[in-house]
A and B are shown apart, each in its own frame.
Chain A
């Protein structure tokens, strides 16, 4: 699988994603510059975390207008797989590739720590090998990660099985205390209706290297890669 990691000015998790895909999972990985007009034949587009264009407006609000994003949007509309983490998730929401929005954390502070999330469905390219309900330890690092959408959108997310991850405690219980940012119904990650665009606030790429003593994030990557193989 050929992976393209998009670099916006202000992206800062791009090299972490490259390291994960390339060094940890052996994928051919290249970087795509925000001013580029070509996805270079990538099978998977990854939008990394960071502060694209400084994120002085709403996070991700400027990035959606960059040249590369027009191609990413077109790629996604044709069924191409797009995965956004943190700022990448924010950009996907701003681009309307995913429903809803990411608001300022309920406590109004940037927050970086390990949290637990549990998969809500196995029916997606990033959760296909994960047993729903199992708590995975994955770090978060964001100031604007409170997922919000209106009631009809929430209803359709549920009806279409689009909620991929919810924040939970170490035992897998979905509780208010386990919700680190005030996200609606503890939502940590979702996909689109066509199930080819994925977004989540926690950083699975920060939990793949055994040298850092937490590899829970490998499951998402292994799922992605197994889908690619079975295709």
Chain B
């Protein structure tokens, strides 16, 4: 039996290293405290200075992103989530967050608790969640472990979100070998609050009571519990579950109770218990207000007996909230907790000491300046080195002329294989497991569009939202790929008839200490920043997830997932992606290009994994979007759909399938390769359909704007043809497209 180490014993540099801190960080802690920390204090620093809480390796670059905009109510990092003014006295809160590592170990609970966490971030600001999205990435779909992960993650997201009662209205699913070991699970939530009734994560008013409510606290999800218990008692490790367990029923009760608490006017500040549990919420809230906090850990409602002080501090038990109560409201608050049958307790009070002081049975077990723990305060900030990745040299070798073009006959078989490709085929096997209609606000169920669109009840507005990132492009060129991710999100909103408003991002990368990974990170951020400035969509927040890799050499593709929201005002209907009627004409806004770089076609049909990012020009992209918005505004279009994975052919097919219509198109430029024309993924292209009577008006508007465009052809009653070559009927492709994923996953 290992020697029992008391949590009050002085900590050692070895323990610090086992907790993930560096020796110089241990020295810094000693300097801050003016003494050697005890084990409990060290534990607190180790989680607060972890990448997850401190952003120590990313904050320098995150700060370069544009963070100011006309409708912003909170700057990035200022609140738990981004907040924008949408008029009518309402604000929209939104954020995306990762739950990658838990999902890799235990897909069901990992994904479920991800959904729970992101929704708490939204409602702890006083915003009622109204819609959710998610961005999922897995390895090879044919691999049994991948199937297990997909089934578990989808069921986890579904069961949590469905019971919580918020519709899932959009998202994306990708499959690529780079995610084989380390899948990505990014969840986004969007909520609505009344302006002036939002809540901040602050702890003001000396003597105000600090309450915890929700679930009781157990030993689940304690960060680095394995190492810590080794140092304390080896045997205790066995009863520590490593992944948190979620309960959407509790979350639903907490949501309703929280809304009632806020309505009383007695909430001073509030924060949910996410990473690092009580430690994080108490220290961040008091540091933000320049106050201190006394916390009596033994008062915390506990799920099991004999929890150590540091276990209570670090527990990541789900569905817990911390609230600072205005004096005189305590009784009213307790009545609300009782109404919703929630566990609750006063566990502390706000002080003026500037320190977080944790007590266990009247004994002070940790005494730390709150400021020293947090981002923007004493938490370390690092500038990391970066070097250009070596694989860039191989990408530079790519020559399209070494890839044989396809003729139109072989293009038919290619088109069918692409329609079945898991990155292109219908994701209905996934999204049918999510309640997409609860709340009766989803406007895209019966009128599909490139983004999710929800009605804001009681107003004449809708909010459009999307998550986007083609990580293959980012891998090929982090700077351009970062710009494309933002541009595609904006394009999806524009094609839905919305004006892009703001961005939240979830930055999934490998190990930041790997200089090539850090190069990807830095340049993706630079790209995102450029594009966000162009589209006037400030970054309101999000999260960073590093260490997405299983060994040094196989980091996931750099994946900066963009979540973007936009507005449709004035009672306008959203624009839809489906072809409406045979005889309507089809136009491409933007240019066809001799480009197949980084396309699904190139990877799937030719096995070429390394090629440059597809053609992209930020100014052209912006022009294409602006003029499309104008055409929609003038009611000249019947459909709009952006050209992305699978290229033009898949784009047209997706628009045709909804109503079982077809299309007849003609490639007029003889110098253009067939494969590039049909399957290339050059950016900045939107396909629109319109009544022939509007063709003149549309063409003159496009010419006036100086935007390249071409007339592709016309909508048919169901047949598909390219340059006179019959490609069969839309229904032939629809069968393949709709069932491919379920055939592989059921």
Given the known inter-chain contacts A112-B433, A141-B438, please indicate yes or no for A10 contacting B249, CB distance below 8 A. Answer: yes
Q: By the criterion CB–CB under 8 Å, are B436 and A205 in contact?
A: no
Q: Which one of A35, A107, A114 contacts B446 once the chains associate, using CB atoms below 8 Å?
A: A114
Q: By the criterion CB–CB under 8 Å, are B249 and A113 in contact?
A: no
Q: By the criterion CB–CB under 8 Å, are A212 and B164 in contact?
A: no
Q: By the criterion CB–CB under 8 Å, are A9 and B253 in contact?
A: yes
In the complex, how many angstroms separate the beta carbon of A161 from the nearest chain B beta carbon? 30
Complex interface bits, B427-438 against A, C-beta within 8 A gives 1, otherwise 0 = 010001111111
Q: By the criterion CB–CB under 8 Å, are B437 and A110 in contact?
A: no
Which chain B residues numbered 427 to 468 have a C-beta less than 8 Å away from chain A? 428, 432-443, 445-447, 455, 457
Q: By the criterion CB–CB under 8 Å, are B162 and A141 in contact?
A: yes
In the complex, how many angstroms separate the beta carbon of A10 from the nearest chain B beta carbon? 5
Q: By the criterion CB–CB under 8 Å, are A213 and B447 in contact?
A: yes
Q: By the criterion CB–CB under 8 Å, are B247 and A54 in contact?
A: yes
Q: By the criterion CB–CB under 8 Å, are A50 and B165 in contact?
A: yes
Which chain A residues numbered 1 to 52 have a C-beta less than 8 Å away from chain B? 9-10, 12-13, 15-16, 19-20, 23, 35, 49-51
| B159 CB-CB contact with A under 8 Å | yes
In the complex, how many angstroms separate the beta carbon of B437 from the nearest chain A beta carbon? 5
In the complex, how many angstroms separate the beta carbon of B36 from the nearest chain A beta carbon? 47
The residues of B that contact A49 with a CB separation of less than 8 Å are: 438
The residues of A that contact B437 with a CB separation of less than 8 Å are: 112, 139, 141, 203, 206
Q: By the criterion CB–CB under 8 Å, are A139 and B445 in contact?
A: yes
Q: By the criterion CB–CB under 8 Å, are A20 and B440 in contact?
A: yes
Chain B CB within 10 Å — which of A23, A35, A53, A213 has the most? A213
| A214 CB-CB contact with B under 8 Å | yes
Q: By the criterion CB–CB under 8 Å, are A10 and B433 in contact?
A: no
In the complex, how many angstroms separate the beta carbon of B433 from the nearest chain A beta carbon? 5
Within the assembled complex, what's the spacing in Å between the Cα atoms of A143 and B249? 16
Complex interface bits, B217-258 against A, C-beta within 8 A gives 1, otherwise 0 = 000000000000000000000000000000111001100000
| A111 CB-CB contact with B under 8 Å | yes
Q: By the criterion CB–CB under 8 Å, are A10 and B445 in contact?
A: no
| B340 CB-CB contact with A under 8 Å | yes
Given the known inter-chain contacts A51-B248, A110-B158, please indicate yes or no for A16 contacting B445, CB distance below 8 A. Answer: no
Which chain A residues numbered 197 to 231 have a C-beta less than 8 Å away from chain B? 203, 205-206, 208-209, 211-214
| A96 CB-CB contact with B under 8 Å | no
Given the known inter-chain contacts A12-B164, A50-B165, A213-B447, please indicate yes or no for A111 contacting B440, CB distance below 8 A. Answer: no
Within the assembled complex, what's the spacing in Å between the Cα atoms of A109 and B152? 12
| A185 CB-CB contact with B under 8 Å | no
The residues of A that contact B457 with a CB separation of less than 8 Å are: 19, 23
The residues of B that contact A205 with a CB separation of less than 8 Å are: 440
Q: By the criterion CB–CB under 8 Å, are B432 and A212 in contact?
A: no
Closest chain B residue, CB of each to CB of A51: B163
Complex interface bits, A90-121 against B, C-beta within 8 A gives 1, otherwise 0 = 00000000000000000101111110000000
The residues of B that contact A16 with a CB separation of less than 8 Å are: 438-440
Within the assembled complex, what's the spacing in Å between the Cα atoms of A162 and B163? 30
Complex interface bits, B129-169 against A, C-beta within 8 A gives 1, otherwise 0 = 00000000000000000000000000100110011110000
Closest chain B residue, CB of each to CB of A212: B443
Within the assembled complex, what's the spacing in Å between the Cα atoms of A206 and B445? 11
Chain A contact patch, size range: 35 or more
Q: By the criterion CB–CB under 8 Å, are B440 and A212 in contact?
A: yes
In the complex, how many angstroms separate the beta carbon of A26 from the nearest chain B beta carbon? 16
Given the known inter-chain contacts A113-B432, A139-B437, A211-B443, please indicate yes or no for A10 contacting B162, CB distance below 8 A. Answer: no
The residues of B that contact A51 with a CB separation of less than 8 Å are: 162-163, 165, 248-249, 252
| A55 CB-CB contact with B under 8 Å | yes
Within the assembled complex, what's the spacing in Å between the Cα atoms of A9 and B340? 8
Chain A CB within 10 Å — which of B253, B341, B446 has the most? B446
Within the assembled complex, what's the spacing in Å between the Cα atoms of A112 and B434? 6
The residues of B that contact A139 with a CB separation of less than 8 Å are: 437, 445
Complex interface bits, B409-442 against A, C-beta within 8 A gives 1, otherwise 0 = 0000000000000000000100011111111111
Within the assembled complex, what's the spacing in Å between the Cα atoms of A56 and B248? 11
Given the known inter-chain contacts A12-B164, A16-B439, A211-B455, please indicate yes or no for A111 contacting B433, CB distance below 8 A. Answer: yes
Given the known inter-chain contacts A16-B440, A141-B162, A141-B438, please indicate yes or no for A214 contacting B446, CB distance below 8 A. Answer: yes
The residues of A that contact B247 with a CB separation of less than 8 Å are: 54
Complex interface bits, B59-103 against A, C-beta within 8 A gives 1, otherwise 0 = 000000000000000000000000000000000000000000000
Within the assembled complex, what's the spacing in Å between the Cα atoms of A205 and B446? 15
The residues of A that contact B158 with a CB separation of less than 8 Å are: 110
Q: Which one of A9, A23, A110, A114 contacts B159 once the chains associate, using CB atoms below 8 Å?
A: A110
In the complex, how many angstroms separate the beta carbon of A182 from the nearest chain B beta carbon? 15
In the complex, how many angstroms separate the beta carbon of A139 from the nearest chain B beta carbon? 5
Within the assembled complex, what's the spacing in Å between the Cα atoms of A230 and B158? 43
The residues of A that contact B746 with a CB separation of less than 8 Å are: 107
In the complex, how many angstroms separate the beta carbon of B384 from the nearest chain A beta carbon? 43
Within the assembled complex, what's the spacing in Å between the Cα atoms of A29 and B457? 17
Q: By the criterion CB–CB under 8 Å, are A214 and B445 in contact?
A: yes
Within the assembled complex, what's the spacing in Å between the Cα atoms of A132 and B457? 33
Chain B CB within 10 Å — which of A109, A112, A205, A211 has the most? A112
Within the assembled complex, what's the spacing in Å between the Cα atoms of A16 and B438? 8
The residues of B that contact A13 with a CB separation of less than 8 Å are: 165, 438
Which chain B residues numbered 444 to 497 have a C-beta less than 8 Å away from chain A? 445-447, 455, 457
Closest chain A residue, CB of each to CB of B434: A112
Q: By the criterion CB–CB under 8 Å, are B445 and A53 in contact?
A: no
The residues of A that contact B447 with a CB separation of less than 8 Å are: 213
In the complex, how many angstroms separate the beta carbon of A104 from the nearest chain B beta carbon? 13
Within the assembled complex, what's the spacing in Å between the Cα atoms of A141 and B442? 14
Q: By the criterion CB–CB under 8 Å, are B163 and A55 in contact?
A: yes
The residues of B that contact A141 with a CB separation of less than 8 Å are: 162, 435, 437-438
Q: By the criterion CB–CB under 8 Å, are B445 and A212 in contact?
A: yes
Which chain B residues numbered 505 to 559 have a C-beta less than 8 Å away from chain A? none
Q: By the criterion CB–CB under 8 Å, are B252 and A112 in contact?
A: no
Within the assembled complex, what's the spacing in Å between the Cα atoms of A150 and B733? 42
In the complex, how many angstroms separate the beta carbon of A39 from the nearest chain B beta carbon? 19
Closest chain A residue, CB of each to CB of B151: A109
Q: By the criterion CB–CB under 8 Å, are B440 and A9 in contact?
A: no
In the complex, how many angstroms separate the beta carbon of A53 from the nearest chain B beta carbon? 7
In the complex, how many angstroms separate the beta carbon of B460 from the nearest chain A beta carbon? 10
Closest chain B residue, CB of each to CB of A54: B249
Chain A CB within 10 Å — which of B155, B164, B252, B455 has the most? B252
Q: By the criterion CB–CB under 8 Å, are A114 and B445 in contact?
A: yes
Given the known inter-chain contacts A19-B457, A51-B248, A213-B443, please indicate yes or no for A12 contacting B165, CB distance below 8 A. Answer: yes
Which chain A residues numbered 51 to 73 have a C-beta less than 8 Å away from chain B? 51, 53-56
Within the assembled complex, what's the spacing in Å between the Cα atoms of A143 and B158? 10
Q: By the criterion CB–CB under 8 Å, are A53 and B249 in contact?
A: yes
The residues of A that contact B442 with a CB separation of less than 8 Å are: 212
Q: By the criterion CB–CB under 8 Å, are B438 and A12 in contact?
A: yes
Closest chain A residue, CB of each to CB of B436: A112
The residues of B that contact A143 with a CB separation of less than 8 Å are: 162
A-B contact pairs, 23 of them (CB 8 A): A9-B249, A10-B163, A12-B438, A15-B439, A16-B440, A19-B457, A23-B457, A51-B165, A51-B248, A51-B249, A51-B252, A54-B163, A109-B432, A113-B432, A139-B437, A139-B445, A141-B435, A141-B438, A205-B440, A206-B438, A208-B440, A212-B443, A212-B446
The 4 closest A-B pairs by CB, nearest first: A12-B165, A54-B249, A213-B446, A51-B163
Q: Measuring CB to CB, which residues of chain A are less than 8 angstroms from any residue of chain B?
A: 9-10, 12-13, 15-16, 19-20, 23, 35, 49-51, 53-56, 107, 109-114, 139, 141, 143, 203, 205-206, 208-209, 211-214
With A51-B165, A206-B437, A211-B455 already in contact, 18 other A-B pairs whose C-beta atoms are closer than 8 Å: A9-B341, A12-B438, A15-B439, A16-B439, A20-B440, A23-B457, A51-B162, A51-B163, A51-B252, A53-B249, A55-B163, A110-B155, A110-B159, A112-B435, A113-B428, A206-B438, A209-B455, A213-B447
